[in-house]
Every structure is written in structure tokens, then in C-alpha cells.
Amino acid sequence: MKRIAAVLSGSAIVALAVTGPPASAEPGLASIDCSATHTEGSQLIVDCFNPDLVPGVVDVFYVCSTPLDFNRQIVFDEPGNPIGAGSNLRLVRDCGPEQVVVTRQILAFTQRQQDDQSARQQQIREQRDRAAGR
């Protein structure tokens, strides 16, 4: 997982960008690449590419604030933006006048990765239930 962190001067706010899940060890299981995501002024520009043969989703979370008053923040959570197999997704989100993106998190999963994660979670639940005698 690629992580970028920056501390804004004079403030305890940390900007964190997470681009996609870690690459899978399974052959033929491609990850959606959102490494081209960036900010320009008050805008968050999400750029992703899905190299897999199956569709996926891109979850976008970001926080906007004014540079002079970080106590006033607006939080946006946009899960489930669809991305087709072998296609690009570009989303442009504008925080508005005198606002900046102070943090963002982009998580992208192909349908195969979502299915794998669901299967693993189900296995964990079954193991927990057996251990608890349910």
C-alpha cells in the first residue's frame, strides 16, 4: 500500500493518501491503480485504472476545510463508485471557494478482491462461532 503523509505547518493535521489495496500474491489478480489521484487548489481529482478483466469499485473519502480555520471541516464519504474492467475512472470533487482538501483516502477493489475478502470474513465468522460453541 502506498502511503503519503504530510504535516501542515503550525497544525497537528496530517494529510494521508492511500491508493488502492496491496497487490495480491495470487497470479492474475490485478489491483486497481489510483496512484494518479491528486489535488489542484480546492479540487480532488481521482484518477484510477482497472487492469483486471472484472469490474470493481472505488471508495472515496475526503475532508475539506479553510486553510485559516481547520476546526471547520466538511467530511465527504462516497463509497461504491463503479469502474469497469480494463477502464479508467476520473472523478473531480470541488471543496468550494476558499476551501482545500486536507485529507483523502481512496480504496479500490475489483470484484474478485471483494469476493475474496467476503469469503475470508465468512471463514473468520465460522471459526469464531465454532470456538464459541455456537
Read off the pLDDT of residues 51-68 as tens digits, 9 standing for 90 and up.
999 999 999 999 999 878
Read off the pLDDT of residues 77-92 as tens digits, 9 standing for 90 and up.
999 999 999 999 999 9
% of the chain at pLDDT higher than 70 = 78
Give 12's pLDDT tier (boundaries 50, 70, 90).
Answer: very low
Residues with Cβ within 8 Å of 69's Cβ and at least 6 positions away in sequence, in order, are none
17 contacts 104 by C-beta, under 8 angstroms: yes
Maximal CA-CA distance, the chain: 57
Return the C-alpha cell found at 73: 471541516
Average pLDDT of every residue of the chain: 82
Domain ranges of the chain: 2-131
Full strand arrangement of the beta sheet holding 69-83: 2-7, 14-19, 100-110, 56-66, 69-83
Residue 19 pLDDT > 70 = no
- In this prediction, residue 18 carries a pLDDT of 38
